[in-house]
């Protein structure tokens, strides 16, 4: 029974956190297949590769100084673990950035992809820790509180810093900055991970400091996410206002599509008319795509055929505009 609880409590909180991050990405949500792939990368490949790398890198140091001492714990936890785990988790963000470059529209997108990889990694790591403590119900309960709740956002926080680095590089024309910014993000992820592990190595004495440093960082990323969402809302208002003047959609539709709370209205319409709800959701999503594509055009020119994509989206938005008004 305790093993089942270990598995459920390892996965369920991480899925809830992931769902919240997905919800917070208000207007142009990332494709579900990429969201799922990011989570699964953290859950399976990252954990396997990180474990193998850590075993290999720990062997020579353990042979010299032994394993049962503070120096080795600090080396393994504060140097090797952050380097291997953040490096392998960051690889998922890199692959998405390379192969799905157009999906990086804002800093929020980097936070989303980095967080989802982190939640996947935290889920499998928590399962392993919880199962190892499953012979002691009280100890398991304390460990669940610590790892799933007090420090439950840690891996997502660390890797979100890598995601922010890639997102900041997205609209840079300078090649040097495009290379440096992701490395800065990755370095920040490793440093915060190392700081947490260093404090945690000292047990109860270090946990308050670990909690403070982690949550200050989490709050900082939260502020960055809110700033990104505010900027995205401004993009929608600006670029959809242009479409109103072109007759693509009405002023009321543009106002609703750019509202932070439009998903509440969309969901409410589901109970009245599911078909219209589907059309309305699709319409609002296409409006957001059109605005983001116009933002990409303004920042990067006609990369990957932005101009053609804008025209296609404009036609689609115009068609859906008439349908949802009926």
pTM of the model: 0.90
Tokens describing residue 250: 């009405």
Asked if residues 193 and 82 have their Cβ atoms less than 8 Å apart, the reply is yes
Check residue 21 and give its pLDDT. Answer: 92
Asked if residues 147 and 13 have their Cβ atoms less than 8 Å apart, the reply is no
For residues 231 and 305, give the distance between their C-alpha atoms in angstroms, rounded to a whole number.
Answer: 24
Check residue 265 and give its pLDDT. Answer: 55
Check residue 186 and give its pLDDT. Answer: 97
Check residue 275 and give its pLDDT. Answer: 73
Instruction: Compute the half-sphere exposure of residue 274: CA atoms within 13 Å on the CB side of its CA.
Output: 0
Average pLDDT, the chain: 90
Check residue 282 and give its pLDDT. Answer: 86
Q: Tell me how far CA of residue 267 lies from CA of 261, 279, 293, in angstroms.
A: 11, 12, 25
Kindly give, in sequence order, each residue whose CB lies less than 8 Å from that of residue 131, ignoring residues fewer than 6 positions away: 3, 6, 7
- pLDDT band at residue 228, thresholds of 50, 70 and 90? very high
Residue 14 pLDDT more than 90? Answer: yes
Asked if residues 313 and 287 have their Cβ atoms less than 8 Å apart, the reply is no
At 94 the three-state DSSP class reads helix
Give per-residue pLDDT as tens, 133-174: 878 888 889 999 999 998 999 999 999 999 999 999 999 989
Check residue 270 and give its pLDDT. Answer: 56
Check residue 260 and give its pLDDT. Answer: 80
Tokens describing residue 294: 């116009």
Segment 52-59 shows an average pLDDT of: 94
Check residue 176 and give its pLDDT. Answer: 94
Check residue 12 and give its pLDDT. Answer: 96
Check residue 25 and give its pLDDT. Answer: 87
Q: What percent of the chain has pLDDT over 70?
A: 95
For residues 94 and 102, give the distance between their C-alpha atoms in angstroms, rounded to a whole number.
Answer: 13
Asked if residues 79 and 141 have their Cβ atoms less than 8 Å apart, the reply is no
């Amino acid at each position: 029974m305790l093993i089942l609880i270990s598995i459920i409590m390892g996965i369920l909180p991480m899925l809830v956190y992931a769902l919240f991050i997905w919800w917070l990405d208000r207007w142009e949500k990332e494709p579900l297949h990429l969201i799922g792939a990011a989570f699964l990368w953290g859950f399976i490949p990252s954990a396997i590769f990180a474990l193998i790398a850590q075993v290999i890198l720990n062997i020579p140091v353990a042979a010299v100084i032994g394993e049962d001492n503070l120096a080795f714990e600090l080396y393994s936890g504060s140097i090797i673990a952050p380097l291997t785990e953040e490096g392998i988790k960051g690889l998922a963000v890199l692959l998405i950035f390379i192969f799905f470059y157009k999906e990086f529209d804002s800093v929020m997108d980097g936070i989303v992809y980095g967080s989802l990889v982190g939640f996947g990694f935290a889920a499998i790591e928590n399962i392993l820790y919880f199962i190892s403590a499953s012979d002691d119900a009280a100890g398991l309960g304390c460990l669940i509180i610590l790892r799933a709740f007090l420090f439950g956002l840690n891996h997502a926080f660390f890797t979100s810093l890598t995601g922010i680095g890639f997102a900041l590089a997205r609209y840079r024309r300078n090649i040097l900055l495009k290379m440096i910014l992701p490395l800065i993000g990755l370095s920040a992820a490793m440093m915060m991970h190392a700081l947490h592990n260093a404090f945690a190595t000292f047990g109860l004495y270090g946990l308050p400091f670990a909690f403070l440093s982690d949550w200050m960082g989490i709050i900082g990323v939260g502020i960055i996410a809110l700033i990104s969402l505010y900027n995205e809302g401004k993009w929608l208002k600006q670029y959809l206002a242009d479409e109103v003047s072109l007759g693509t959609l009405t002023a009321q539709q543009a106002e609703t599509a750019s509202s932070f709370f439009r998903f509440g209205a969309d969901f409410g319409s589901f109970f009245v008319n599911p078909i219209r709800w589907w059309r309305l959701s699709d319409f609002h999503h296409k409006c957001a795509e059109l605005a983001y594509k116009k933002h990409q055009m303004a920042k990067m020119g006609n990369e990957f055929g932005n101009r053609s994509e804008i025209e296609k989206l404009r036609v689609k938005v115009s068609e859906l505009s008439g349908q949802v008004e009926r």
